[in-house]
């Protein structure tokens, strides 16, 4: 069967890091290749996508922006990465992605310019508000008039858009950008490949989220944390006070509270993941209570332990996040304690590549089961049942409409 190993516990078997059955490979290609119309000769104007947040949020927004540019018959200007507030540093699109390769792969899907015409080059684009609203956001109705009037606009794609209503040619541009055109720079890809090679095989990539700002934002409280963790969380809370009483119970039961490293280790044990498993920790700086995981799973590897050169130390937050993304989409298995932008993008790319061993650990199930008083073997068995059929195959992940092939 080509498995890394098979673990049997009681009457159940966990097939961990096994090859995907051949009958499942290719299921993501749901439709035959379809012909898309050629680009119109005349553009309606220039569109810049302004991207905010972490790398994978910006990647998602930019891919959406490519689809929007094609939808509006706009000429795409290379995006602006607004990262200072998130990483407290600056990096541009070209610091992470291969610009030449992107332009080459998008040829025929959407018009792209490196430089604006002289009459626009010294101007800032007119900002068009696409903030979240009730109902689906209509770009043709809301944004196209501004594009035609001002000829150069900038947007951040709306969260409430309806990609399923895009015409085929706009979907094709979006999918081409996300899955085929965004390649890391040669320098960054070389570093990511070096990192991948350094991880003992087979390995599980684990995206663990338990940083002070994440916990503060969740408004959850935890017992038995170290004084240092409590102090860090309190410093990050600002005006986000934790829920108390019945509201705290309901909030936790809805799966709103991040899993601690110790809780994560418990779920991994419930899923019969051997304690000698090689685990790559796909996470940023500032993780708290990590010994809750490493005291049980000793073979845990990180970027900082495997790459110690001066060039790695000088990397931006975005470029370090790109390393985690690269390793995660190429790992034998991927598990996440959250369902954020990185997790959706990784799950989507792994499904697109036919790598289905992708699992999101259930915060909601853990909260409900522990509040029911389950402990020990009863809790482990219940956690196993919750997760056993939950491997992600692309459904519900980022850009599901892309699981087909388009031809110009």
Rounded Cα distance, 397 and 331, in Å: 18
Both 236 and 375 in a single domain?
yes
Both 227 and 368 in a single domain?
yes
8 A C-beta contact, residue 188 and residue 269: no
Both 260 and 226 in a single domain?
yes
In a domain, 266, yes or no: yes
Task: Let me know if 376 is exposed, middle or buried by CB neighbors in 10 A (0-12, 13-18, 19+).
Answer: exposed
In a domain, 87, yes or no: yes
In a domain, 408, yes or no: no
Both 286 and 171 in a single domain?
no
In a domain, 350, yes or no: yes
In a domain, 49, yes or no: yes
Both 297 and 254 in a single domain?
yes
In a domain, 147, yes or no: yes
DSSP state of 122: T
Q: Which of 156, 183, 210 is the last residue of a domain?
A: 183
Tell me the residue range of the domain where 45 lies: 34-183
In a domain, 333, yes or no: yes
Per-residue pLDDT of the chain (408 residues; tens, 9 = 90+): 233 322 222 223 333 333 333 333 333 333 334 556 788 889 999 999 999 888 998 999 999 999 999 999 999 999 988 754 445 556 789 999 999 999 999 999 999 998 899 999 999 999 999 876 555 678 888 899 999 999 999 999 887 666 777 888 998 899 899 889 999 999 999 999 999 999 999 999 999 999 999 999 999 999 999 999 999 999 999 889 999 999 999 999 999 999 999 999 999 999 999 999 999 999 988 899 999 999 999 999 999 999 987 778 788 888 999 999 999 999 999 999 988 889 988 988 888 888 878 899 999 999 999 999 999 999 999 999 998 877 655 444 555 566 555 454
Both 98 and 234 in a single domain?
no
Q: Which of 183, 215, 237 is the last residue of a domain?
A: 183
pLDDT of residue 165: 77
Both 294 and 205 in a single domain?
yes
Neighbouring residues of 153: CB distance < 8 A, sequence distance ≥ 6 = 45, 46, 47, 48, 125, 126, 127, 128, 143, 146, 147
8 A C-beta contact, residue 185 and residue 94: yes
Residue 330 structure tokens = 């190429």
Q: Which of 160, 183, 206 is the last residue of a domain?
A: 183
Both 137 and 226 in a single domain?
no
Q: Mapping DSSP to helix (H, G, I), strand (E, B) and coil, where does residue 260 land? A: coil
Both 89 and 112 in a single domain?
yes
Both 163 and 177 in a single domain?
yes
Number of domains observed in the structure of the chain: 2
pLDDT of residue 340: 87
Both 50 and 19 in a single domain?
no
In a domain, 407, yes or no: no
Could you report how far apart the first and last alpha carbons of the chain are, in Å?
Answer: 39
């Amino acid at each position: 069967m080509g498995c890394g190993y098979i673990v049997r516990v009681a009457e159940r078997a966990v097939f961990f890091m096994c090859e995907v059955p051949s009958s499942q490979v290719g299921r993501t290609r749901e439709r035959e290749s379809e012909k898309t119309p050629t680009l119109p000769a005349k553009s309606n104007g220039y569109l810049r996508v302004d991207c905010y947040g972490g790398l994978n949020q910006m990647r998602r927004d930019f891919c959406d922006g490519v689809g929007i540019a094609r939808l509006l018959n706009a000429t795409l200007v290379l995006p602006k990465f607004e990262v200072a507030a998130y990483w407290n540093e600056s990096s541009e699109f070209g610091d992470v992605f291969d610009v030449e390769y992107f332009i080459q792969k998008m040829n025929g899907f959407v018009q792209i310019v490196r430089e604006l015409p002289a009459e626009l080059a010294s101007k800032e684009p007119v900002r068009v508000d696409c903030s979240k609203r009730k109902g689906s956001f209509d770009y043709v109705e809301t944004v196209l008039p501004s594009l035609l009037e001002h000829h150069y606009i900038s947007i951040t794609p709306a969260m409430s858009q309806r990609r399923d209503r895009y015409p085929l040619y706009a979907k094709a541009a979006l999918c081409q950008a996300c899955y085929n055109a965004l390649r890391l720079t040669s320098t960054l890809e070389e570093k990511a490949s070096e990192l991948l090679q350094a991880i003992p095989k087979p390995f599980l990539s684990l995206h663990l989220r338990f940083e002070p700002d994440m916990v503060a934002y969740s408004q959850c409280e935890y017992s038995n944390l170290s004084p240092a963790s409590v102090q860090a969380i309190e410093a990050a809370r600002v005006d986000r006070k934790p829920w108390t009483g019945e509201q705290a119970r309901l909030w936790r039961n809805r799966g709103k509270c991040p899993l601690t490293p110790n809780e994560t280790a418990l779920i991994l044990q419930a899923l019969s993941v051997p304690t000698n498993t090689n685990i790559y920790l796909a996470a940023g700086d500032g993780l708290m209570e990590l010994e809750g995981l490493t005291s049980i799973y000793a073979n845990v590897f990180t970027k900082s332990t495997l790459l110690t050169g001066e060039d790695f130390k000088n990397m931006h937050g975005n470029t370090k996040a790109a390393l985690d993304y690269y390793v995660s989409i190429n790992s034998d298995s991927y598990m996440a304690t959250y369902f954020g932008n990185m997790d959706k993008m990784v799950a989507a790319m792994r499904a697109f590549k036919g790598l289905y061993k992708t699992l999101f650990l259930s915060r909601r199930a853990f909260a409900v089961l522990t509040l029911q008083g389950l402990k020990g073997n009863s809790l482990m068995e219940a956690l196993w049942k919750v997760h056993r059929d939950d491997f992600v195959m692309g459904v519900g992940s980022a850009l599901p409409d892309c699981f087909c092939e388009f031809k110009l």
